Amino acid sequence: MKRIIIFANGELSDPDKARQLLGVDDTIICADGGTRHALALNVKPDLIIGDMDSVDKAQLQKLQKDGVAVEFHPRDKNETDLELAVNRALELQPEQILIVAALGGRLDQTLANITLLTDPRLVGVDVRLDDGVEEIFICRDRAQVRGGGGDLVSLIPWQGAVPEVETQNLKYPLRRETLYPDKTRGISNEMLGDSASVSIGSGLLLIVHRRQS
């Protein structure tokens, strides 16, 4: 299984751009209320997971009748619905996990969704939050950013300072520099072409790529 799409219950500012992320062979998992985004994009889920406090009950019943698997969890639990969805996705051993509509809405939920990217179990899996406008992912060693000239790229140290940051094809180059979590040195860089690269010495570097077109 190559790629799993997880629909979260955040905001989706540009559905048309989000639709362009989808492929015909993707496995679709909806985290509870994320079901609304899948249905709005005319995508049939393979699995809906969560405590079902946000999903439309009539839609849920119809999807169950259509053969969609539904995994119920109690409302009083230690994980968010999105974390449950990520856990289930990892059991399928995909090469890539794309989490759609994980940004916007409640700030605490957005921060928690971003924090999920640091899970050590995700090492070796290409995991990104993406809504078609912005994508967010973690660089643990090297990373490629693919987009277009003028796209914004921000590099944010996560869980501590990140040494030996080096970039290629960004307007403001970094040459084996250290980025600190209490400084804004890596914010709002710009891509000079269709791709850019980032490498680090150690630590976790959060990459936020905002497409300009």
Residues 44 and 90 in one domain: yes
Domain span including residue 116: 3-132
Domain end: 66, 101, 132, which one? 132
Question: DSSP secondary structure string, 2-56?
Answer: -EEEEE-SS--S-HHHHHTT--TT-EEEEEGGGHHHHHHTT---SEEEE--SSS-
Residues 27 and 106 in one domain: yes
- pLDDT of 35-44, one tens digit each? 999 999 999 9
Residues 97 and 158 in one domain: no
32 — pLDDT class (breaks 50, 70, 90): very high
Domain end: 109, 132, 155, which one? 132
Entry pTM: 0.93
Any idea what the CATH number is for the domain that residue 67 is in?
3.40.50.10240
**63 Rama sector, left if φ>0, alpha if ψ -120 to 50, beta otherwise:** alpha
User: Does the pLDDT at position 7 exceed 90?
Assistant: yes
Within-domain flag for 119: yes
* Start-to-end CA span in the chain (Å): 30
- pLDDT of 142-199, one tens digit each? 999 999 999 999 999 999 999 999 999 999 999 999 999 999 999 999 999 999 999 9
Measuring CA to CA, which residue among 174, 172, 170, 165 is closest to residue 199? Answer: 165
- pLDDT of 59-85, one tens digit each? 999 999 999 999 999 888 899 999 999
